[in-house]
Structure 1
Amino acid sequence: MEKRRICLYTQTHWDREWYWEFEKYRCQLGSVARQLAAELEEGAMPVFHLDGQSCALEDIIAIQPDMEKRLGKLISRGKLRVGPWYVLADQMLVSGESLVRNLERGIKIASRYGDPLAVGYLPDTFGHTQDMPRILKGFGIDNAVVWRGVPELDQGPAFLWRSPDGSEVLAYLLPDGYYQTAFHEAEGKEPAESRAMLGEYLLSFLGLDKEGSQIDELELNGRGRSYFEQGKSALVPVGGDHLYPPVKLRSLVKRAREAMAALPDDQKVDVEVVDLETYLK
Structure 2
Amino acid sequence: MSEGDAVGMVDEPVTPERLASDLRNLGVRGETVIVHSSVSSLGWVPGGPQGVVEALQNAVTEAGTIVVPTHTSHLCTPSVWENPPIPDDWLPEVRESMPAFRPAVTPSRGVGAIPECLRTHPNAVRSTHPQYSFAAWGANADEVVTDHELDYGLGENSPLSAVYDRDGLVLMLGTDYETNTSLHLAETRADHEREETVEEGPMLVDGEREWMEFMDIERTTDDFPDAGAAFENDVGVETGRVGAADATVVDQRSLVDYATEWFSRNR
- Please indicate the TM-score interval, normalised by the length of the shorter structure: 0.3 to 0.5
Q: Determine which structure has greater relative contact order: mean sequence separation of CA pairs < 8 Å that are 6+ residues apart, divided by chain length.
A: 1
Report the TM-score, using the length of structure 1 for normalisation.
0.34
**Higher share of residues assigned strand:** 2
